[in-house]
Structure 1
């Protein structure tokens, strides 16, 4: 996961209906109804925790590592349990074997600093970090949710209303980032998660705070970087706006605005020229996407103006005011599947497993199986930064002029959480190896012995041939 990927497991109970959210989302053409029973009612997940490897650490700080989540170019992310609370977390550490060098530590410490600065309703909370540890680590809330990239690939493009709503939320996230002097520089569908209670922007590994670094490297994914980045110019907040426009194009059409040439060098040249193809973008979104993708950075809207353009796009899509349609059914099914996984992981590893094992424990509801997702999101205490950039987050007025996309009511019908079940017994070891390891070692020795006999036989045949040739030549 997800992507990356960090943030707390969200429970899935109730419909989340509130004022202005009583409508069921419309069914897109070809959408799969999620109220069906059967094995095909919920899709398989694109990201699932994998087992720890022998070289993986078992503890980092106060966190017990229980599974692998993902690995990137610089770091690896683990699913972990905080030993004092039993809460799940995502812990990122460097991939470097042994001691990390000074450059890696400085880069990791900068990522930790940026992640702490951008705390807000659309970013994942940092729980703890230790960049100076022998193996530097960063712990954040664990979010069991798909990325917009996975939703688009597996669920198809979204309708204009959903894309407009996501644009407004992403603009709010960029507003919070830029307000504290941070440029993301790698905004793309894979770096935006979608839990049921709103987007979460993740992965600040190549972000920079303008007052912390003078890095001028062209980083990010080519299809989503701004033309000035492709030309090697400094990354600015306008680059994030361009990346958001490219992301919105992908959500609406299934592909980024620059054609996929299969050649990174040619693609980089197309991006540098601003050669975009917006022919497939729906009319209600065209003005919004075109404004974000302006070749001149000064002509692009800032996040505040971008939110206004997103609201206009939503109105043009026929969803004025608070009567926004929900996400496509295929998307909702994937979001639901991740919610279910979050509950199951909580029951297996986290606080739910602790309560189930305690004497007299009643029920098996975990952290992810509490009140409805939207009620928990509304009860969260906003940070000062969030209140500064979104007055509705302060609790004194409406949070936003439109609600989050609704998940179909039938899709969010709560299901009984599975019991923790017996844990598998660890295999017995002899001289540090399991029976399977000894079988593998024996097979390797046998193969080596067979290869040795084959080489000796070939040498004997070659020697015989040479002897015959010499004898014939002497005769």
Structure 2
């Protein structure tokens, strides 16, 4: 098990600051953007996303990023992440969002195994609420997958709206997202709708319940794409207790899939539990992310207050740390007591 988040050191082409945020390290990267772990003056941790660009940022990329910021600001639900600040017009466009110190569902399945049906239903309820919030704001995520759902013990958080599109946009010819979790209509290059997010949610939940995507293993990308286009799923191993939940989400016809509101209504009739349903391996991984201490940089010293080594991953102070950053006299710097 990996246990802690992967925060890579800043490299030569990485900025040390974006806006008022001091950057600590890289936490993710994609084809068009890079995500950093940053810190406010008061010590709060944030996620800061910026465009990857050599030289001057192309105007088309800047417009795309500005649209992403605008879409992300429209999402305010408790199962997504909030935008804290952004600058789409600066030399290097950036957006700061709430930092969620939690592993993704992809990491948890990889390192902790599949889930019980009851735990799958709990996560499904949270994902349904996230989609209700998104679709109410007339946003289609277009890339729902295990890697884009973080799981703190308070419930799943849907992240990464980098390829989300408002429903009134017309650019529908792109097939985006991970093939095994994309919808048939996206795989065919057709327009995405809220029902596309529902299909991807079904594929994600299947992955949680079985440890694999809902297609026969071993196919190359082209064969897999052909299967996804026709929703030729292989549901072998799907536990009966979640068959009624997941199978309808994977229907070829978007109109035949339940809506996120339908799912929530079903969960109201049959309430789920909470994080107590998760296996020990999962809760251990989640807690290790929450308690992760970011690496210390030279800029963190001499500030007169608690530095990164003194704060937990959510920016809070350990119980033994005083407000001025000092510790009780009978404790050592690591919080332990002298022998």
TM-score range, shorter chain: 0.7 to 0.9
Q: 2:53 aligns with which of 89, 96, 111?
A: 96
- 1:48 deviates by 1.9
Q: 1:332 aligns with which of 262, 269, 283?
A: 283
Contact conserved, 1:178 with 1:237, CA < 8 A, in 2? Answer: yes
* Residue number in structure 2 paired with 1:68: 26
Contact conserved, 1:81 with 1:350, CA < 8 A, in 2? Answer: no
Distance 1:126 1:324, change over 3 A: closer
What CA deviation, in whole Å up to 9, does each residue of 1:246-298 have, x standing for no partner? 00100000011112334111111101111111121100100111110111111
Distance 1:418 1:302, change over 3 A: farther
Contact conserved, 2:214 with 2:233, CA < 8 A, in 1? Answer: yes
Q: 1:277 aligns with which of 234, 239, 249?
A: 234
Alpha-carbon separation, structure 2, partners of 1:236 and 1:137: 27
**Alignment root-mean-square deviation, CA:** 2.7
Contact conserved, 1:168 with 1:311, CA < 8 A, in 2? Answer: no
Alpha-carbon separation, structure 2, partners of 1:322 and 1:162: 8
Q: 1:355 aligns with which of 305, 327, 330?
A: 305
* Residue number in structure 1 paired with 2:13: 55
* Residue number in structure 2 paired with 1:127: 84
- 1:354 deviates by 5.2
What CA deviation, in whole Å up to 9, does each residue of 1:307-327 have, x standing for no partner? 234566xx5xxxx67588520
- 1:419 deviates by 4.5
TM-score by length of 1: 0.63
Contact conserved, 1:238 with 1:297, CA < 8 A, in 2? Answer: yes
Contact conserved, 1:80 with 1:89, CA < 8 A, in 2? Answer: yes
Gaps of 5+ in 1: 1-42, 358-363, 372-415, 421-475
Distance 1:324 1:140, change over 3 A: closer
Distance 1:324 1:338, change over 3 A: closer
Alpha-carbon separation, structure 1, partners of 2:274 and 2:204: 24
Distance 1:98 1:323, change over 3 A: closer
SS of aligned partner of 1:167? helix
Q: 1:250 aligns with which of 203, 207, 218?
A: 207
- 1:151 deviates by 0.3
- 1:208 deviates by 0.4
Greater shift, 149-158 or 64-73, is seen at 64-73
Contact conserved, 2:4 with 2:289, CA < 8 A, in 1? Answer: no
What CA deviation, in whole Å up to 9, does each residue of 1:372-408 have, x standing for no partner? xxxxxxxxxxxxxxxxxxxxxxxxxxxxxxxxxxxxx
- 1:197 deviates by 1.3
SS of aligned partner of 1:162? helix
SS of aligned partner of 1:244? helix
SS of aligned partner of 1:355? coil
Distance 1:370 1:172, change over 3 A: farther
* Residue number in structure 1 paired with 2:160: 203
Alpha-carbon separation, structure 2, partners of 1:97 and 1:340: 36
SS of aligned partner of 1:238? helix
* Residue number in structure 2 paired with 1:286: 243
SS of aligned partner of 1:345? coil
Alpha-carbon separation, structure 2, partners of 1:292 and 1:310: 15
Contact conserved, 1:149 with 1:190, CA < 8 A, in 2? Answer: yes
Check if 1:368 corresponds to 2:326. no
SS of aligned partner of 2:291? helix
Distance 1:220 1:356, change over 3 A: closer
Quick one: higher RCO (CA 8 Å, sep 6+), 1 or 2?
1
For this pair of structures, how many residues does the alignment match? Answer: 320
What CA deviation, in whole Å up to 9, does each residue of 1:176-203 have, x standing for no partner? 0000100000000000000111111001
Question: Which structure has the greater CA radius of gyration?
Answer: 1
1:438-457 alignment runs, 5 A limit: none
Alpha-carbon separation, structure 1, partners of 2:14 and 2:118: 44
- 1:214 deviates by 3.4
